[in-house]
A = this chain, B = another copy of it.
Amino acid sequence: MTSVAWSGPKLRVAVLGATGSVGQRFVSLLADHPWFEIGALCASERSAGHPYADAVRWMQTTALPPEIGSLEIRPTESASANDCVVAFSALDATIATPVEQEFARAGHVVVSNAGAYRMHPRVPLVVPEVNADHLELLAGQEFGDGAIVTNPNCSTIGLVLPLKPLVDRFGLLRVHVVTLQALSGAGIEGIPSMQMVDNIVPFISGEEEKIESETRKILGRVTGGEVTEHEVMIGAQCNRVPVLDGHTACVSVELGDRPPREDLLDAWAEFVPDTAALALPSAPKRVIHVLEGDDVPQPRLHRDTDGGMAALVGRVRPCPLLSWKFVTLSHNTLRGAAGGALLLGELAVARGVVPGWSAGGKTAP
């Protein structure tokens, strides 16, 4: 299963919110991407006009490539990205709504990691391996010549990936989930260190609601240009813990059937997403890794599995209340943010959402 070789020029993309925690991940991943290249780095007015290297507080463990560091940051408006067809958005919730719409109306395909349009009825909320078919909602979008597609919240992505094979095979009635979420999800300046030494915080603003609503949309069915949400009942509790990257979740599920443990493991082991045939460059080799051992997955040891794009599952055991309980882990700024959005951008290209481009390269003059 290999992808069609890309030929000709790369597709130029803009990164919105390029200096933040997720923006930096976009920049890292795009530095060496087979299909895309950075055409514009947009950030706040304070940063605009300065070289990226000067404006960013670079927190990645790989050095910032000098040719990217020297790019001048542009203002966050579509005019900054005239030569880019696609815009990856890592914008703050506070400004994403007008800005993303402005980019779309100017003709850009916006692939957004922000929450602004996730629950909009005409905007696809997509995890490529789970609900690529939701892209058909785009037909009904009315944001001018462009389009907006959205990547779910980081903790939702980490949850729906292991749920998908269970939904398909057994049906899913109820989910109880408690998360232990990493610091990077709150942005570089998000959580003061005095709060994260000898401490955890049992609260993340808006997170529980996002998990509960987004999961139902993602697992829902699109018919006639509308999403019918999945009826699963979800109860979420979210905590912040002193981990740099990698959201852990303790999950209990009530399935339609009461399958034996072996069947669950098979469901995960045999899961092949519809998008596998597309061989998208950012897709993990295996979507779900079930780990053996009592005390795994652990964020520091396993978050980088398959380039940080896989979901890890462990500790599968009976739940006295629902059917089964397990622990899942995923990398929140790779799989759950920049990497997931990039994969979604690749899917959009492969599915013909980006005018003039396909999985083989440029198609139109």
**A interface residues, Cβ below 8 angstroms from B:** 21, 58-63, 174, 176, 178, 180, 183-184, 188-203, 205, 212, 233-235, 237, 239, 241-244, 248, 250, 252, 294-301, 304-305, 314-315, 319-322, 325, 327
Contacts and interface: CB of A to CB of B under 8 A. Distances in A.
Contacts of A252: 176, 235, 237
A202 B248 contact: yes
B192 A189 contact: yes
B321 A199 contact: no
A64 B195 CA distance: 17
Number of copies of chain A assembled together: 4
A61 B234 CA distance: 32
Given A63-B305, A202-B248, A242-B193, A235 B180 contact: no
Given A174-B321, A241-B241, A297 B202 contact: yes
B180 A200 contact: yes
Contacts of A298: 195, 199-202
Chain B CB within 10 Å — which of A60, A188, A201, A322 has the most?
Answer: A201
6 contacts: A59-B301, A63-B305, A192-B192, A201-B295, A203-B315, A233-B321
A71 to B, nearest CB: 18
Given A200-B180, A235-B322, A300 B61 contact: yes
Contact of A198 (B197, B212, B320): B197
Given A201-B298, A239-B250, A315-B202, A194 B244 contact: yes
Nearest to A252: B235
A304 B61 contact: yes
Nearest to A62: B304
Contacts of A194: 21, 59, 183-184, 188, 191, 244
A159 to B, nearest CB: 14
A178 B235 contact: no
A336 to B, nearest CB: 16
Contacts of A304: 61-62
Given A237-B250, A320-B234, A197 B325 contact: no
Contacts of A319: 235
Contacts of A63: 305
Contacts of A243: 197-200
B202 A314 contact: yes
Contacts of A174: 321
Contacts of A300: 61, 197-199
Contacts of A250: 178, 202, 237, 239
A212 B320 contact: yes
A60 to B, nearest CB: 8
A325 B299 CA distance: 26
A188 B194 CA distance: 6
B294 A205 contact: yes
A299 B200 contact: yes
A178 B237 contact: yes
B295 A203 contact: yes
Contacts of A188: 192, 194
A196 B197 CA distance: 9
A308 to B, nearest CB: 11
A280 B51 CA distance: 37
A180 B241 contact: yes
